[in-house]
Amino acid sequence: MDVRTGVLGCGLRVGIADHAHRPGEGSRIVAVSDPDPARAAAAAQRYDGDVRVTHSLDELLDGELDAVFVVSPDHLHEEHAIRCLEAGIAVYLEKPLAITTEGCDRVLAAAERTGGKLYVGHNMRHMPVIRTMRDLITSGAIGEVKSVWCRHFVGHGGDYYFKDWHADRSKSTGLLLQKGAHDIDVLHWLAGGYSRRVNALGALTVYGEITDRNEHEVYKTGHDWAEYQQNWPPLSQTGLNPVVDVEDLNLVNLQLDNGVLASYQQCHYTPDYWRNYTVIGTEGRLENFGDGEGAVVKVWNRRHRGYAPEADRVVEVERASGGHGGADPRIVAEFLEFVSAGVPTVTSPIAAREAVATGCAATESLRNGGAPVEVAAPEAALLDYFEKSSRS
């Protein structure tokens, strides 16, 4: 019998649910919901069969659902996830888990209280480049990890994040959380620990100077590469969100509970768009070159005099089809196995909460002159509840 699945929010990430529409093969999309009738109708057209179209969460919950993809804007994640969990529906919640640490804990507590199934969409744990680095680390290729660095070049930040609600801190907290939650989770995963102390610097260095703004907030529903090519250099951008009060340049230092030291750097106006990770261990280091098709991970674990471009080992990253290097279909398949058979997952609601808590603490630090901020751990009861559903 197919898992009857709904979609809540029909904006930019609605396509993730496409991988769950497999009528007769275990799951199907049976309902979609969005307050915008045009967006809801367009989403319903993505799926064959009888798809119920609704415009509120109340209407969506009136139908018989086994699971729901919550892909609404970030500031609604907390409310929407809790309502669905309380209705007895398994939840795929797009990252971030919430936009505050307290909000995350309320969602986790709702899952624990109801015995509900909660899955958070940190799809980068399924990206081939990340899995390659993780496998090398766990195989002992560089010894014991001591430091992890990430440079995040967000080349289209002005197009993706400064023309809609992402640019408004009341709806995102900030891009260090909203965009950085993925990378913070990966830093934690590669390092084998969670941040407990952070300090950060950040500023609105480019997009705050642009005065060409939309009169009203716009919800973006797709990417137009032809348009993006025209928006260079960054100061030539037009039509920004009415409110722009988040940072476009962020630098963070992190101290993890296992002694690993990490750093995360994020810039939203680089000419290229990719992530570069460096992991340093007691017996070498590794680094990815590219994070999509054609990417490789290089490993150095012999002594070298000066620059060694060829490395001691070069591992080609698997090529896979589907969004985010094949991560999107994999993460949806994992969610559906979790819903239908309780199979433990690589993703972790606790890890998702730790990524948000770290991003919130770092944002607090940068908005207070870089003062160090402690990151509080989740309650023991929540750790106990989610431990059984994660194999990370």
* Mean predicted confidence (pLDDT) in 90-101: 97
Q: Strands of 71-226 (E only): list them.
A: 90-94, 118-121, 145-153, 195-203
pLDDT at 229 over 90: no
Query: Taking a C-beta distance cutoff of 8 angstroms, is the pair 296, 316 a contact?
Result: yes
- Would you state the pLDDT for residue 329? 93
User: Distance (Å, rounded) from C-alpha 16 to C-alpha 3?
Assistant: 16
pLDDT at 35 over 90: yes
DSSP-assigned beta bridge partners for residue 285 = 280, 300
Q: Is 356 helix (H, G, I), strand (E, B) or coil?
A: helix
User: Distance (Å, rounded) from C-alpha 185 to C-alpha 179?
Assistant: 11
Tokens of 252: 């963070």
C-alpha to C-alpha distances, 33 to 11, 57, 94, 163, nearest whole angstrom:
10, 7, 15, 23
- Would you state the pLDDT for residue 49? 77
pLDDT at 223 over 70: no
> H-type helices in 139-247, by residue range?
157-160, 169-172, 175-178, 180-191, 225-230
Domain boundaries of the chain, sorted by first residue: 125-327
- Interior CA angle at 273 toward 267 and 278, to 5°? 75
Query: Taking a C-beta distance cutoff of 8 angstroms, is the pair 251, 365 a contact?
Result: no
The 3-class secondary structure across 291-309, one letter per residue, is CCCCCEEEEECCCCCCCCC
Query: Taking a C-beta distance cutoff of 8 angstroms, is the pair 314, 125 a contact?
Result: no
Q: What is the pLDDT of residues 318-363, one digit of tens each?
A: 988 788 888 999 999 999 999 999 999 999 999 999 999 999 999 9
Q: How crowded is residue 225: how many other Cβ atoms within 10 Å of its Cβ? A: 8
User: Distance (Å, rounded) from C-alpha 93 to C-alpha 71?
Assistant: 7
- Would you state the pLDDT for residue 222? 65
Q: What is the pLDDT of residues 53-78, one digit of tens each?
A: 999 999 999 889 999 999 999 999 99
- Would you state the pLDDT for residue 275? 97
User: Listing from the earlier edge strand, what are the strands of the sheet with 274-281?
Assistant: 313-316, 296-300, 284-289, 274-281, 145-153, 261-267, 249-256, 195-203, 373-374
**Of residues 355, 357, 388, 345, the one with CA closest to residue 92:** 345
> Mean pLDDT over all residues of the chain?
94
User: Distance (Å, rounded) from C-alpha 68 to C-alpha 84?
Assistant: 8
User: Distance (Å, rounded) from C-alpha 78 to C-alpha 185?
Assistant: 19
- Would you state the pLDDT for residue 221? 64
Q: What is the pLDDT of residues 10-20, one digit of tens each?
A: 987 889 999 99
Q: What torsion do the CA atoms of 339, 75, 238, 223 make, to the nearest 10 degrees? A: 0
- Would you state the pLDDT for residue 48? 82
Q: What is the pLDDT of residues 255-309, one digit of tens each?
A: 999 999 999 999 999 999 999 999 999 999 999 999 998 999 999 999 999 999 9
Query: Taking a C-beta distance cutoff of 8 angstroms, is the pair 66, 338 a contact?
Result: no
pLDDT at 227 over 90: no
Query: Taking a C-beta distance cutoff of 8 angstroms, is the pair 241, 163 a contact?
Result: yes
Q: What torsion do the CA atoms of 366, 371, 372, 376 make, to the nearest 10 degrees? A: -70
Q: What is the pLDDT of residues 189-205, one digit of tens each?
A: 999 999 999 999 999 99
- Would you state the pLDDT for residue 357? 98
pLDDT at 180 over 90: yes
Give the gyration radius of the chain's Cα atoms: 21
User: Distance (Å, rounded) from C-alpha 194 to C-alpha 191?
Assistant: 8
pLDDT at 153 over 70: yes
C-alpha to C-alpha distances, 367 to 101, 154, 202, nearest whole angstrom:
17, 21, 8
pLDDT at 230 over 90: no
Fold of 125-327: Dihydrodipicolinate Reductase; domain 2 (3.30.360)
pLDDT at 392 over 70: no
pLDDT at 128 over 90: yes
